[in-house]
Amino acid sequence: MKLIILDDYEQVSEWTAKYIRNRIKKFNPGPDRFFTLGLPTGSTPLGCYKKLIEYHKKGEISFQYVKTFNMDEYVGLPRDHPESYHSFMWNNFFKHIDIRAENAHILDGNASSLEKECQDFEAKIKAAGGIELFVGGIGPDGHIAFNEPGSSLVSRTRVKTLAMDTILANARFFDGDLSKVPTMALTVGVGTVMDAREVMILITGSHKAFALYKALEEGVNHMWTVSAFQQHPQAVFVCDEDATQELRVKTVKYFKGIMDVHNKMVLD
């Protein structure tokens, strides 16, 4: 596991965007060899998406031969609802780059059979050759996608009932009206993400510091699903200084000591 510690959110966003840009360019995708990228929603990746759009407009990166697979989607929310993850991804990223609509895969929370939709999503990932790089964020409780505390660490894409804490937290996006907040979602599983050849987790802010501590300095625990990535052979955690507040000083010093070498290898 690698830990990249940067000064602030802006630096995390820029580092992540550069990493994704360079990974795609090095892969050299083409019509017979697509780069497959797993993507999250939420506030954490927004800065990264803005940077990737900037690199695209400068001609530094193309997404013509990239296939994306998003982590999750609400059940029952219309696709064009402003809070759907379809809307989020198209408004904040996809419509600003040259990705083809048929290559941007997002779970359908209105499918006639939600179980089949989840099975089909897994099949699409497999048919695409698996995911090269899966980027994710976490919540303060260490959840990734909608794999909330207690989720199986070998879970696959499935229907999930949302925890009350999640529903309460999401109420702010629905005018504070709990009755409007979806209570179910489709989500990739922890095992789905673990199957990616590389996983990158973005963690920013002091409110996620304890989750980073649990992910790095304690054992694998299904009550902190992000801790599963301790066992991934190519996992990178990218965080800001605020997110390191719960880590031991020697842990921070250790990872900062090897960070410069890693940066030269992947960002030059």
Catalytic residues: 72, 141, 143, 148
Rounded Cα gap, residues 57 and 45, in angstroms? 18
Rounded Cα gap, residues 208 and 122, in angstroms? 29
Task: Quote the crossing angle between the two packed helices 9-27 and 249-267, to the nearest 10°.
Answer: 40
How many Cβ atoms sit within 10 Å of the Cβ of residue 233? Answer: 9
Tokens 């095992």 -> residue: 191
**DSSP code string of the chain:** -EEEEESSHHHHHHHHHHHHHHHHHHH--BTTB-EEEEE--SSTTHHHHHHHHHHHHTTS---TTEEEEESEEESS--TTSTTSHHHHHHHHTGGGS---GGGEE---TT-S-HHHHHHHHHHHHHHTTS-SEEEEE--TT--BTTB-TT--TT--SEEEEPPHHHHHHHGGGGTT-GGGS-SEEEE--HHHHHTSSEEEEEE-SGGGHHHHHHHHHS--BTTBGGGGGGG-TTEEEEEEGGGGTTS-HHHHHHHHHHHHHHHHHHH-
